[in-house]
Amino acid sequence: MMVSLSGQHSVTCGRFHRQDHRARGGRRVPLRVMMSAREHDLSVHVNGLDFENPFVTGSGPPGTNYAVMKKAFDEGWGGVVAKTVSLDSAKVKNVTPRYAKLRSGNGEVIGWENIELISDRPLEVMLEDFARLKREYPDRMLIASIMEEYDKEAWVKLIGLCEAAGVDAFEINFSCPHGMPERRMGMAMGQDCELLAEVTGWVTEAASIPVWSKMTPNITDIKVPSKVCLDAGSDGIAAINTIESIMGINLDTLRPEPCVEGHSTRGGYSSVAVKPIALARVASIAQVIAEGYSDRSLSGIGGINTGNDAAEFILLGSDTVQVCSGVMMHGYPMVKGMKAELSAFMEKHGFTSLSDFKGMSLPYMTTHTELVRMQKEAIEMKRKNKVGLGNDKEWSGDDFVKQSDSMVAN
């Protein structure tokens, strides 16, 4: 199937118009999962998209080309977010080395920094990869991550080309923290709510398939840009992208890492060490969605390496979870163990589907002021129901037997 940069395509994709996909439940009949008493339904149905399971490879090297995205589908990932594409890949110039690791005292990798840019492959080549993948895996979810400069015409053209290639949804990259912000792209847009609203509006108006907006954590309050994107029509939010960072200084050379010709630049920090930060941001976004956008979705990202990690994100309101640096360290087969561990968690608690526990932990997040109030009430209640006597002075003749019984252990 040939896809040209003119956006012409010889095959009719048969998509619903964008305004229909929420109400009509998308363009596919939801998968019917036949389960025995001991099986668990890991499928996810959001924004008219049917994911076999919640595990999605995140945008980056795991979605660089046909070969690696095919590997993800073959190993059993529920979806793939391809590496971010733009109209003119000639402007993208990567350097090497572009990664650096943070290790714990015992040598375990707990942090990963990258200064990698978006795809440097020609767009027409990526479009061919998308089309081929959708021919071979028509029921797997392929999401195009997109980024452009502040130019409506460019965004609209990019959307048309990707839709013609057959992708299932878009993820707008409003969050890459290095390289692209110098051109008012990525994080530079995600930190400017006026730009964010305008560009999100362009995309959601032009797209006929679901649109997710990917949020940067490099901002004071992630609820604000998330709400801006939802108000502008985003069908879902993905969060978090990497945290702006400097991995460290080499104390032998006195140069920052990763070092390129004796120099470095701020990069994006990810892997297991960012999970607590990601959970906090995801919980904040989930609360926004719960309060006024119940038809929207949330894809949780940040330090997810196990099925139990995924369970935590789902408990705080995520529909799907994305893994990027984890795949780079452990490989695509890691999804098998993640699915098994998530199923074991569900078995332990008697859950049969992800919807049984999605958002279950969210109501237990509150303010510190509320924690103080609740603890004060609990202490007062314990005092009222106090068992036993504090000292001999508290004995009374009228309640002598009752007081004696209150101190019996069996």
Q: What is the crossing angle of helices 123-136 and 152-164, to 10°?
A: 30
Alpha helices, DSSP H only, in 78-222?
123-136, 152-164, 187-190, 193-206
- The secondary element (H helix, E strand) that includes residue 233 is none
Residue type, 397: G
Identify the active-site residue in 162, 176, 229, 324. 176
DSSP 8-state class, residue 271? S
Token couple for 388: 């036993």
176 is a catalytic site residue: yes
Let me know how many helices (H) and strands (E) the chain has, helices first.
Answer: 13, 16
- Residue 345 burial by Cβ neighbours in a 10 Å radius (0-12, 13-18, 19+): buried
Distances, alpha carbon 373 to alpha carbons 287, 347, 361, 364, in Å: 21, 35, 20, 14
Residue type, 88: D
Residue with tokens 């990497």: 242
Which residues lie below 8 Å from residue 288, measured CB to CB, with a gap of 6+? Answer: 223, 226, 227, 230
Neighbouring-strand partners of residue 301: 322
Token couple for 371: 């924690």
- Identify which of 94, 140, 74, 154 has the alpha carbon closest to the alpha carbon of residue 83: 94
Q: Are strands 297-301 and 320-323 parallel, antiparallel or unpaired?
A: parallel
By annotation, the residues acting in catalysis are 176
